[in-house]
């Protein structure tokens, strides 16, 4: 039985909220963005279309923190993000990826609203620092996200309490809690339910996530400014560099782990994640030397 469902702002208010971030993309920009994620056909404003965008994005645009490690300042200015992710074919941290993705959805005509989520795994009371998107469709409201560094929903999830949903890798459901609001739970094969993230229905705009970038770049408590940590979804699972270990993951579980040297990480960043590692290991010797 379906429990309580989310009530998003009315369409006019949501569209005006996104307009505060700036104008929509041009048709040329939309076409180039879709090409960046491997889509060449029109995207319908349906659940199927939204799911196609989310999956394509996750399989082609890595999560990565290379600018932070190299000391290059981040920005949520839309032209900057478009240049970085679409033109230069880099990735980004969650706020960068989902900010640009939000712009794409808004430009295509989806009724999309951004929320600021608190990460709950590991169990912590850290401040809200993850941008999650919700899209109102004919069949309900669905969350969509392309900014996770670990295994998370590969398909849009219906924002309704207690509905068990599967993406072919893990199982998900939403529940409501008095303090946290909407809580996303994940169950990996052979494991119990785990609370992953939570958010309340307070709409956000791009500028609301500037403090997140500052925290990632400058805070001693940040896990983004210590070492490179790119990750990329694959049809089978994920490939990731985590604390100087190259991991192959399936359904959120590690199936292969290989310690890496700086030279090996440079090669992996170039050849596996297809990113430019300039500036992260200036003194690293060539691999094999």
CA–CA gap between residue 272 and residue 20 (Å, rounded): 37
Average confidence score pLDDT of the chain: 93
Give the pLDDT of residue 127: 82
Number of domains in the chain: 1
Those residues whose C-beta lies under 8 Å from the C-beta of residue 100, and which sit 6 or more positions away, are 33, 78, 81, 82, 85, 86, 92
* Within-domain flag for 128: yes
CATH number of the domain where residue 118 is located: 3.30.2140.20
Write out the residue range of the structural domain in which residue 177 sits. 11-271
What confidence score (pLDDT) does residue 178 get? 96
Q: Is the pLDDT of residue 287 over 60?
A: no
Q: Is residue 103 part of a domain?
A: yes
2 within some domain: no
pLDDT at 289: 46
> For residue range 162-185, what is the model confidence (pLDDT) as tens digits?
999 999 999 999 999 999 999 999
Domain for residue 288, yes or no? no
**Mean per-residue pLDDT, 120-140:** 88
Nearest C-alpha neighbor of 205 from the set 16, 1, 18: 18
Say if 158 falls within a structural domain: yes
In a domain, residue 3? The reply is no
Residue 50: per-residue pLDDT: 98
Within a domain: 279: no
| 278 found inside a domain | no
60-93 pLDDT per residue, tens = 999 999 999 999 999 999 999 999 999 999 999 9
pLDDT at 11 over 60: no
What distances in angstroms separate CA 49 from CA 25, 53, 200, one per listed residue? 18, 6, 26
Q: What is the per-residue pLDDT across 217-230, written as a single tens digit (0 to 9) for each? A: 999 989 899 999 99
Query: Rounded to whole angstroms, what are the CA distances from 209 to 13, 93, 97, 235?
Result: 20, 12, 12, 30
Q: What is the tens place of the pLDDT at every residue in 53-69? A: 999 999 999 999 999 99
Q: Each residue of 12-49: pLDDT tens digit? A: 566 689 999 999 999 999 999 999 999 999 999 999 99
| Whole-prediction pTM | 0.93
Q: How confident is the model at residue 262 (pLDDT cuts 50, 70, 90)?
A: very high
């Amino acid at each position: 039985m379906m429990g309580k469902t989310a009530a998003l702002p009315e369409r006019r208010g949501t569209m005006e909220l996104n307009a505060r971030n700036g104008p929509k993309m041009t048709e040329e920009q939309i076409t180039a963005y879709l090409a960046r994620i491997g889509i060449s056909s029109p995207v319908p404003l349906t659940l199927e279309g939204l799911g196609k965008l989310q999956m394509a994005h996750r399989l082609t645009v890595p999560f990565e923190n290379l600018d932070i490690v190299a000391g290059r300042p981040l920005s949520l200015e839309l032209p900057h993000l478009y240049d970085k992710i679409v033109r230069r074919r880099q990735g980004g941290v969650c706020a960068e990826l989902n900010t640009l993705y939000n712009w794409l959805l808004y430009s295509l005509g989806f009724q999309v609203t951004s929320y600021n989520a608190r990460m709950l795994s590991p169990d912590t009371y850290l401040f809200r620092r993850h941008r999650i998107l919700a899209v109102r469709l004919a069949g309900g409201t669905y969350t969509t996200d392309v900014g996770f560094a670990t295994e998370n929903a590969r398909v849009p999830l219906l924002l309704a309490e207690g509905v068990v949903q599967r993406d072919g890798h893990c199982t998900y459901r939403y529940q409501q809690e008095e303090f946290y609001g909407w809580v996303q739970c994940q169950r990996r094969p052979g494991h119990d339910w785990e609370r992953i993230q939570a958010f309340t229905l307070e709409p956000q705009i791009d500028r609301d996530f500037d403090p997140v970038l500052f925290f990632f770049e400058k805070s001693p408590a940040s896990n983004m400014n210590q070492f490179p940590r790119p990750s990329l979804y694959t049809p089978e699972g994920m490939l990731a560099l985590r604390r100087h270990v190259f991991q192959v993951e399936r359904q959120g579980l590690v199936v292969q782990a290989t310690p890496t040297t700086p030279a090996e990480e440079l090669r992996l960043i170039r050849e596996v994640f297809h990113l430019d590692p300039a500036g992260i290991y200036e003194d690293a010797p060539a691999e094999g030397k």
